Structure 1
């Protein structure tokens, strides 16, 4: 089969690879319909390895070169021995992580924080491929009123749910979202259905800002507006209660801290390609909280319920739909070079499932 394989920085190629294996006990084989290009995929392509293992992964034994991709939906192709609840043809999505079940985090059911967690496309072969074989306990049925294109957003939607949990979003909170990419726009859709009092988004003019405004967001262009000053004026001089930094760089981290009120919360969502530099006094002297976030927090079932209920619709976020063969040029390169023109590009691995 053909798959997008990471060989090194700026060196992902669509090549022939062995077919996905038949499912073993407790596993299912999935025919992949759609896979979203995630910021993590782009970071690994452009600046990796960040999480991509160069030595055998302690849980899976796998190392690069590996097939990339982890946000997906498809159809059950085959079920392995002992699997119940799934049958061929079922529409499904899956969590991207595989955990050890033994470490301190796993014993607390914090599986996303497993000490040796392996992710699809990062520690084991991913889903920029026609088929994938994975543990059945990471797989979830897709509700009937959600397309497989929409269901490919279940993982980032789950991340957005977990972000708001970690940030302890409360009734009446004012919120600042830095970055109107895929994650920021999913967060915005969740927040606008909450009891938050004010929501501001920061993004440069372009496609992302247009989509944000179409969803009802107030968008601030940091090249035209002093974001910290504006937000403080709109919050009686205090700053917002909660800031979500989806951009992940030193400048946005500084902006996030300075725009947040005394004892407010900053959730750092973005992946940093290099160490951050910021004034620690922006954190300490105002007793602000800086909170990390990793992966879904096992929130995919919740994400699917919210999508089925219409609280989140990822369709407006789709900038382009492309074939697997074009994932590097029309996917990775396009999203990096023309970031201002794209929010989310999704990749089709089986042409007969294009309309699924």
Structure 2
């Protein structure tokens, strides 16, 4: 089968490799939709930051690794101990893999497992290929095809909201989201439709703001950000186009006693003055990936989300993923919100 494999910084290769076979408790998915995330672009341009060079302690897998943690498709085969009625079902992949034995796993915090793996990003192959094998516990049936590459970022949004709820109720709170990429749009959808927050979204890219507005979000330009917010969410992370990181800029838009929720990734130092937060009694909330508690409410969340995700999709072929996917995502961010490899 055809697959993209990550070997190291700026070293990704389209290769023909053997089609995998499903073993016990495993399903074989014919991948139909696989999303290119900013995380994968960061790994390609400057990494690896997350993708492991050495064998993973849980899976024994290391580079070369098939990237993509946001994907799904149709189940074509199943291994032993898997219900054959799953064959033909459309599913999204739930990429998190944990040991199930440590104190974090036993308390429902699998995302903090010391041996955590993640399909397409850490210790396990992902979705930039024709076929993918995953455990039967790492799939969820999805009716709408356009949601397949958004399930993982929607889970990220659910987890972020649950983190925020530890500090205050989200209903009717005024929240600004910095970053209108696939993650920002997913998080905005979860916070607006399920948790009933008042959401505004900003991005430095005009075209992304226009798409967000078309999808029904209140999109604001920088000079329109005038009020102080109960929460600012950094869904942008580091970007070469940004002079001031969203993590720092977002603090300027906070009310006293409020919070900055960070889901963006930063692998280089940024300048933070703690007293700027201290004197206003503001806090920083960190949120990473998702856990089983978030998965439990995913079906309920999906029923409430009103966003038409088709607005954000731009399709390419797997054979063109390097030029039309990775290179484009690095140099022409304005032209897309979500690039999807579709077959």
Aligned residue in 2 for 1:152? 149
Question: Which structure 2 segments of 5+ residues have no match?
Answer: 239-243
Shift of 1:302: 3.6
Cα distance change on mapping 1:5 and 1:262 into 2, 3 Å = same
> Which deviates more from structure 2 when the two are superposed, residues 77-86 or residues 149-158?
77-86
SS at match of 1:175: strand
| 2:272 corresponding residue in structure 1 | 278
Structure 1 spans left out of the alignment, 5+ residues: 232-238, 352-356
Note the C-alpha offset of 1:150.
2.3
- Contact 2:22/2:133, CA 8 A, preserved across alignment: yes
Query: 1:309-348 to 2 correspondence within 5 Å?
Result: 309-318=304-313, 320-348=314-342
Tell me: CA distance 1:86–1:272, structure 2 relative to 1, closer, same or farther (3 Å). Answer: farther
Please tell me whether residue 99 in structure 1 is matched to residue 98 in structure 2.
yes
- The total of aligned residue pairs comes to 333
Aligned partners of 2:108 and 2:291 also within 8 Å: no
> How far is 1:16 from its partner?
1.4
1:19 aligns with 2:19: yes
Measured after TM superposition, the shift of residue 68 of structure 1 is 0.7
Aligned to 1:75: 74
After superposition, residues 116-135 of structure 1 pair within 5 angstroms as: 116-122=115-121, 123-135=123-135
The aligned residue for residue 206 of structure 1 is 206
Q: 1:23 offset after TM fit, Å?
A: 1.6
> Cα distance, 1:3 vs. partner?
0.4
> Normalization by structure 1: what TM-score?
0.87
TM-score by length of 2: 0.90
Q: In 1, are the aligned partners of 2:194 and 2:301 still within 8 Å (CA)?
A: no
Deviation at 1:26, TM superposition (A): 1.2
Within 5 A, what are the aligned runs for 1:48-63?
48-63=47-62
SS in 2 for 1:23: coil
Is the alpha carbon distance of 1:295 and 1:178 closer, same or farther for their aligned partners in structure 2, counting shifts above 3 Å?
same
The answer to whether the Cα contact below 8 Å between 2:93 and 2:138 also exists between their aligned partners in 1 is: yes
1:95 deviates by 0.6
CA distance in 2, matches of 1:75, 1:226: 44
More moved, 174-183 vs 190-199: 190-199
The separation in 2 between residues aligned to 1:52 and 1:198, in whole angstroms, is 36
Q: Could you say if the C-alpha distance between residues 163 and 104 of structure 1 is closer, same or farther in structure 2, counting changes exceeding 3 Å? A: same
Tell me the residue number matched to 2:158: 161
SS at match of 2:280: coil
Question: How far apart are 1:99 and its partner, in Å?
Answer: 0.6
Instruction: Give the Å deviation of 1:188.
Output: 2.3
Aligned-partner SS, 2:80: coil
- Aligned 8 A contact 1:74 1:91 in 2: yes
Aligned-CA RMSD value: 2.0
Counterpart Cα distance in 2 of 1:344 and 1:324: 15
1:246 pairs with 2:235: yes
* DSSP-derived class of the 1:294 partner: coil
Deviations 1:215-245 (A, max 9, x none): 33333333xx274xx12xxxxxxx2111110
- Name the SS of the counterpart of 1:193 in structure 2: helix
CA distance in 1, matches of 2:177, 2:221: 12
CA distance in 1, matches of 2:277, 2:305: 37
**Which deviates more, 307-316 or 11-20?**
307-316
